[in-house]
A and B are shown apart, each in its own frame.
Chain A
Amino acid sequence: MTAPTSNISTARPMVIVGLDALDHWIGTVCRGVVLSTGAALLVSIAIGVVARYVITVGGVDWAEEVPKQLFAWFIMSGVVLAVQGGNHIAVDLVMHYLSPGALRILVVLTNLLVCVAYVYLFGVAMEVAELAAAERNPVLGTPGSLPFYALAAGAVLTAVGSLSIAIRVWVLGADARPQGNPEDSVE
């Protein structure tokens, strides 16, 4: 059985339409998390700075702890968005020398490997979250597992994103992979 030939411009197969919807949904959720946690980080840090240096009451206890709890969610949402956009750091040594068929296989295998690795990371993150659930943050009183759930959720969504890329490339060809921002590339 041969792989389907590259065909991005014509009617999109159903599987790709389904992946478009899934990726769009994941991207929307992650953008929402990045914006909301980013705003909360900015506000809580600003409150801490104002309390310490402007009204000189030393600081606000909760404003110290909130950023530590939110940072993992902020970062992991960004990780997922970067996977979807192909913006992660990569060193391409052989991709430019491969034929379209070989490039397609390489991209599919790379993304499947990433997918498997992140499914494994999800399992590890859940195990650690279970352990950390017994730890209580001293000011907010929230369980220590919350940041690990961010890691677990980010791992699952990264795995889904990588799998989506692998399927897209297999169906449509290597050009269907996210190309990243050209301004971020170093030739």
Chain B
Amino acid sequence: MSDQTFNLSRRALLKNTALLGAAVAIVGAPAIVGAAAPIRLTLGHGASPGNPRAVAADKFAQLVNERSGGAINVTVAGAAQLGDDAAMLTSLRTGALAISANSQGTTSGIVPELGALGLPFLFTDGATPIKLLQGKIGDQLRPKFEALGLVPLGWWENGVRHVTNSKREIKVPDDLKGLKIRTPPDPMTIDIFQALGAATAQIAFAELYVALQQGVVDGQENPLTNIASNKLYEVNKYISLTGHKWESNPVLMSKMAWGRLDAKLQTILMEAMAEATTLQVGLVQADSEKLLKEFRANPNVVVNEVDLAAFRQRTASVYEKWEQKPFGSFVKELRKTVGV
């Protein structure tokens, strides 16, 4: 071993330290940038796997995650994992949840004007109302949501609703008498079924299958896609094609979460929502036709047509009732726009 002394000048020490620091910075930079935490957004909904809402929610999350380059990480929590629609609405307003593909009935509890879209037989398919919600009507509703701390990201289609029950075929309104029908917590649906002579009970959608199975209620009303994805036909033999109302699925974002995104990320979100909406609306329309054929072919299910004229006549009073509400001018304008 040599007895050599190691001399290091101050200049050399500083130079080497600077070089070492630069090297660490160059090598470590990608790791440091990559380690920047993405903005985590959770999207909650109440639909079961396979439902168009669930498929579109997954698509939306995938698009945002890809296009934001990891800046946003959207996680989907479906099947009411984060509570029913009412709980998710409250969570959006407290900032505990970022996004929810909610239901029209529940949301009309905070923006009652939204319920008017479900006026009986106002729409027979989703094309017209979705166009209205993406335009004139949606523009009128937006400030009402914003005042409550919510940003409407998009409007999905829940579909045209039909009645199912475990007792009998519903052909005329009087067939509903004596039946207890589950409705969402939606004043419009309750008014329609009161006009038709049925009793109603408001039960969360996630609890509906068990409620029907145990006889808490005799029947319910939902689009065919929901009847299929939640397997409600297993506990309700009779599907009556009443088509009594159409409903949307408002996709709402917490204003707090929206405010955390810069303009570029907000654009990515809106573009992804537009694509997911096209997918979702297309799926509802395609699935509805396919499912109707499947239900008709199913020997354990009875599908019947109804006397639509009788249903329309019996529910006409609902229009008058809703025009008397504090937001009656909105209802009249909606009717005028649709031409009903």
Contact = CB atoms under 8 A, between A and B. Distances in A.
A51 B199 CA distance: 9
Nearest to B187: A138
A125 to B, nearest CB: 13
A135 B108 CA distance: 9
A52 B185 contact: no
B199 A138 contact: no
6 contacts: A52-B180, A58-B199, A61-B200, A64-B202, A134-B148, A137-B185
B201 A59 contact: yes
A138 B105 CA distance: 9
A131 interface: yes
Interface stretch (B55-63, B86-94, B153-161, B258-266): B86-94
A65 interface: yes
A34 B86 CA distance: 27
Given A52-B199, A64-B200, 19 more contacts: A57-B178, A57-B199, A58-B180, A58-B181, A60-B199, A61-B199, A61-B200, A64-B201, A65-B202, A131-B90, A135-B86, A135-B89, A135-B110, A136-B112, A136-B187, A137-B109, A138-B187, A139-B187, A139-B190
Interface residues of B, number: 25
A139 B199 CA distance: 12
A106 B110 CA distance: 47
Contacts of B180: 52, 58-59
B94 A131 contact: yes
Contacts of B179: 58
A40 interface: no
A132 B201 CA distance: 21
Contacts of A33: none
Closest 3 CB pairs of A and B: A58-B199, A59-B199, A58-B180
B186 interface: yes
Main secondary structure of the interface of B (DSSP, over half): mixed
B194 A61 contact: yes
Contacts of A134: 110, 148
A161 interface: no
Categorize the interface residue count of chain A: 20 to 34
Contacts of A27: none
A61 B180 CA distance: 10
Contact of A136 (B109, B148, B199): B109
A57 B194 CA distance: 12
A102 B181 CA distance: 60
Interface in B236-282: none
Contacts of B177: 57-58
A128 interface: yes
Contacts of B169: none
Contact of B109 (A57, A65, A138): A138
Interface string A44-77: 0000000110001111110011000000000000
A144 interface: yes
A56 B177 CA distance: 9
Nearest to B180: A58
A132 B186 contact: no
Contact of A61 (B90, B94, B109, B190): B190
A144 B86 CA distance: 10
A15 B198 CA distance: 60
Nearest to A55: B178
Contacts of B148: 134
A70 to B, nearest CB: 16
B113 interface: no
B267 to A, nearest CB: 29
Interface string A113-141: 00000000000000010011011111100
Nearest to B93: A131
Nearest to B92: A131
Task: Give the residue among A52, A128, A136, A138 with the most B Cβ atoms within 10 A.
Answer: A138
B84 interface: no
Contacts of B218: 58
A153 to B, nearest CB: 20
A52 B216 CA distance: 10
B92 to A, nearest CB: 10
